[in-house]
Amino acid sequence: MERQPERDTTRRPATFGLTVVVATLMAGAVAWTSPAAAEWPDGSVRVIVPYAPGGTSDNTMRAVQPALEEILGTEVTIENISGGGGTIGIARAADQRADGNNFGFVPTATLTIAPHMNTVAYDPIDGFEPVGRMAESYGALAVRKDFPADTVEEFIAYARANPGEVTVGSAGIGTITHLYSEIFADVTDVDLTHVPFKGSGEAMNNLLGGHVDALFDPVVLRQAQADTVKPLAILNQERWEGLPEIPTMQEAGVEGFDVASWFGIVAPAGTPDAAVEGMAQALDEALQDPAVQERFADLGLMPVFLPTDDFAELIAADHENYGSILARVGLIAQ
Amino acid sequence: MEHWLSVLSLVGDWRVLLFLPLGVVLGAVVGAIPGLTVTMAVSILLPFTLFLDPLPGLVLLLGIYKGGLFGGSISAILLNVPGTPAAACTMLDGYPLARQGRAGEAIDVALWASFLGDLLSVLALILFAGVLATIGLRFGPVELFALILFSLTVIAAVSTSGLARGLIGGILGLIAGTVGLDLVYGTERFTFGSPNLLDGIAFMPLLIGLFALPDIFLYYARGGVLVHTKPIATFSNLRIGPKVLRSLLPTIGKGSTIGIMLGAIPGIGATTATFVSYAEARRTAPDRAKFGSGALSGVAAAESANSGTGAATLIPLLALGIPGDIVTAMLLGAFYFHGLAPGPLLFQNDLDLVHGLYLTLLISSAIVFLVGRYMTVHLQRISEIPLDLMYPIVISLTAVGAFALSNALFDVYVMLAAGVLGLAFKLMRIPAAAFLIGFVLSPLLEDNMRRVLLISRGDVGAFFDSWIALGFYATTLGVVVTIVARALQGGGKRGSAGQL
């Protein structure tokens, strides 16, 4: 009903800025009155989610929020700042005071893909203190019902026999769903034609309507359960319990398909270690909460905690890896 | 029987009964206030609804959605500020009517058109969701390209000051619509290195600036602050009679159908639907000669299509699990949060909920009508506010609204710049509506054209590889020939675009 989604689903209005003002004032007041070596957390904690409420990112953060509040014993407020495919909110997160009260929620693409492709107002590596990864998102490769392949092997064979004729949709250029297909094409040495849409919903619609042949995306999972598309492989290292008979890429014989859509938490560069470590610990603990695990399962997420240092390595590795993939397929200058 | 009893117990929940009217009122108010949008209200309330049971939560959000579809027309008619993007088309005739002292009639027409469009849309959802979802799936890039091409002919319908000026406006709009990231390569176009423009020029700030600000600028330029002028509108006649309503029914019927059909196709949106319906009404309505200068059919066409998309947008969401627009994308998030998966399985696993939803949607149609009837009586007050009080309020509200959409001051600048552009258009008699149509359709046209070429690997023949598309091309051609013939016939002297 509004134009923005018609042209770009990523531009989503954020909630009104009152929370910002209140949270900032509170954080400021607390910081001012407390001694420098205060214990963390000191006052309420704020997490910027770079997408609008209701999206996967927002749902993920809200799934852990109650558990985090209980563990930290303080309020955890979520602020949605959308726009620029998530980069505006992340830039805002990088700009916050590094006082241990401010954090940012990061989906894969904002730190590892977008900085290669667009003008972003943050440094994905040095601009943040990585806190921890909280989840990996399940996804699958699915083809339209009447596509002449029932396994990944057949899919590859068909694509080899018909180079460039297999069309693969995506949620948009430079999204993780786009990277899935580029990396798949790279490691299996097939020539696929990428057809970008604006958001997974549009891409899914075109797969259901048979306008494109295949899609690498989390949205296909539920469609596959409803038997409206044909799932060929799970994109993660483990099978998805919702479709236990579908093999992973590795099990299907695809080597080197090492790409994952993850969600994590970062803090502005310079945030005290006590806050970074405290938040990481709380996150680890929250992910063991059965309620959080159940919620994650509903959302198609795998709770896989990765502590600070490992998360930093993951970000750096993905950043470099995706950069070279994008250069190889000609989307950025080498 | 047991099934319907459990449906009734779901709908009879006191929270459902409370939130339904509450949502509608909230939506109508938010829709009516310039700069506050339904999307904003839904995104603020969504986290709250996650803690409710599925139905009460969804009902609150849907109430806001439906209330907003009507509410947007109020400020469009009274102030020339569209409360929602889809109300842009309502302004074209609604505001001239208000200036003629016929705001009451215009709002009443908007209400009837909204109510009937909404009701038909709900019935279509209940009766034909499966069929309509299947038709929606037939619309791939080729069909969408052809449909959008046809929609561009609407530019002629709004070119009240000559076809040439309309085309200039439309072309400028098409160009403005290319700002942002390129679909296929991700190249930044006309962003001047600013991340704020990566997603293109923000629509609401542009819309508000383009339509609301020029009049305000002119008012102050003429020293308006010092003079107490007469109110914007008077309600000489608060309601339309049954005779007028009957004469509008064909327009409302067609508008609702267009809204339902386009609403069921993900990614098109209500704004486009209103313009298609407007063009159709301009071709056939009895008062077509008055289009653009105050035709009740113009308001009816826009509002019926706008509300017609409402429940129809839920068709791909419920039947396929695919959100058609931003609000339904948020609703999808709410469904998932409750462990419900919209799509074919929803009808197997949660039929109670689906039927409960249908029932509440029907009830809410009636509530929209009652709330609207009540609101219009009291809205008379707004029109009594003198301009030198009203304009500062409008400016503040629009500035706050533009800011709050993304918490970005940049969007306020966009709004002001659009105001200056709108003023220039006004002085050169270029229709701002033509610019707007070009701007809305530009990315849809370009993106789908490029998808067709990607899929066909550059084969232009692919554009003609669909009966649906061929139908649209033929209609487009017919309309263009008529426009040109009328324009030539009508002569350059009158500068009229002729009747579409």
Nearest CA in chain B to A55: B333
Three-point CA angle B239, B242, B247, nearest 5°: 105
Task: Name which of B203, B326, B407 is nearest A81 (Cβ-Cβ).
Answer: B407
Residues in A closer than 8 angstroms to B323, CB to CB, are 201
Map chain B to HEC letters: CHHHHHHHHHHCCHHHHHHHHHHHHHHHHHHHCCCCCHHHHHHHHHHHHCCCCHHHHHHHHHHHHHHHHHHHHHHHHHHCCCCCHHHHHHHHHHHHHHHCCEHHHHHHHHHHHHHHHHHHHHHHHHHHHHHHHHHHHHCCHHHHHHHHHHHCCHHHHHCCCCHHHHHHHHHHHHHHCCCEECCCCCCEECCCCCHHHCCCCCHHHHHHHHHHHHHHHHHHHCCHHHCCCCCCCCECCCCCCHHHHHHHHHHHHHHHHHHHHHHCCCCCCHHHHHHHHHHHHHHHCCCHHHCCCCCHHHHHHHHHHHHHHHHHCHHHHHHHCCCCCHHHHHHHHHHHHCCCCCCHHHHHHCHHHHHHHHHHHHHHHHHHHHHHHHHHHHHHHHHCCCHHHHHHHHHHHHHHHHHHHHCCCHHHHHHHHHHHHHHHHHHHCCCHHHHHHHHHHHHHHHHHHHHHHHHCCCCHHHHHCCHHHHHHHHHHHHHHHHHHHHHHHHHHHHCCCCCC
Q: Is the pLDDT of residue B486 over 90?
A: no
Across the interface, whether the CB atoms of A226 and B185 are under 8 A apart is answered no
Q: Residue A197 carries which DSSP code? A: -
Across the interface, whether the CB atoms of B455 and A119 are under 8 A apart is answered no
A239 phi/psi in degrees, rounded to 5: -70, 160
pLDDT in tens, B249-265: 999 999 999 999 999 98
Nearest CA in chain B to A114: B186
Q: A86-100, A296-310, B279-293: lowest mean pLDDT where?
A: B279-293
Task: Name which of B69, B321, B326 is nearest A5 (Cβ-Cβ).
Answer: B326
**Domain containing residue A211: CATH number:** 3.40.190.10
Q: Is the pLDDT of residue A83 over 90?
A: no
Across the interface, whether the CB atoms of A299 and B336 are under 8 A apart is answered yes
Write out the residue range of the structural domain in which residue A22 sits. 3-137+261-328
Q: Is the pLDDT of residue A267 over 60?
A: yes
Residues in A closer than 8 angstroms to B309, CB to CB, are 1
Pair A122, A265 in one domain:
yes
Last residue within a domain, chosen from A164, A199, A234: A234
Alpha-carbon distances, residue B50 vs A54, A245, B318 (angstroms): 10, 32, 18
Average pLDDT for residues B469-478, to the nearest whole number?
A: 94
Pair A61, A153 in one domain:
no
How close B104 gets to chain A, by Cα (Å)?
Answer: 25
Q: Is the pLDDT of residue B138 over 70?
A: yes
Pair A73, A165 in one domain:
no
Pair A37, A177 in one domain:
no
In a domain, A72, yes or no: yes
**Domain containing residue A41: CATH number:** 3.40.190.150
In a domain, A239, yes or no: no
Percent of chain A with pLDDT over 70: 88
Of B22, B125, B195, nearest to B357 by C-alpha is B125
The rounded distance, in Å, linking the Cα atoms of B484 and B158 is 15
Of A287, A269, A162, A277, nearest to A213 by C-alpha is A162
Across the interface, whether the CB atoms of B44 and A15 are under 8 A apart is answered yes
Separation of CA B420 from chain center: 24
Pair A267, A177 in one domain:
no
Residues in A closer than 8 angstroms to B186, CB to CB, are 117-118, 173-174, 331
The domain tally of chain A equals 2
In a domain, A240, yes or no: no
Task: Name which of A2, A20, A205 is nearest B266 (Cβ-Cβ).
Answer: A205
Task: Name which of B69, B182, B333 is nearest A59 (Cβ-Cβ).
Answer: B333
Q: How many other β-carbons are positioned within 10 Å of the β-carbon of residue B428? A: 11
| Most A-contacting residue of B181, B271, B307, B338 (CB-CB within 10 A), to test interface | B181
In a domain, A296, yes or no: yes
How close B416 gets to chain A, by Cα (Å)?
Answer: 19
Task: Name which of B43, B140, B321 is nearest A222 (Cβ-Cβ).
Answer: B321
Pair A7, A127 in one domain:
yes
pLDDT in tens, B379-422: 766 666 777 788 888 888 888 877 877 677 888 999 999 999 99
Last residue within a domain, chosen from A234, A250, A270: A234
Pair A148, A286 in one domain:
no
In a domain, A278, yes or no: yes
Residues in B closer than 8 angstroms to A62, CB to CB, are 47, 50, 337
Torsion on CA atoms B249, B250, B255, B261, rounded to nearest 10: 120
pLDDT in tens, B4-27: 888 888 888 888 999 999 999 999
Across the interface, whether the CB atoms of B266 and A225 are under 8 A apart is answered no
Across the interface, whether the CB atoms of A201 and B183 are under 8 A apart is answered no
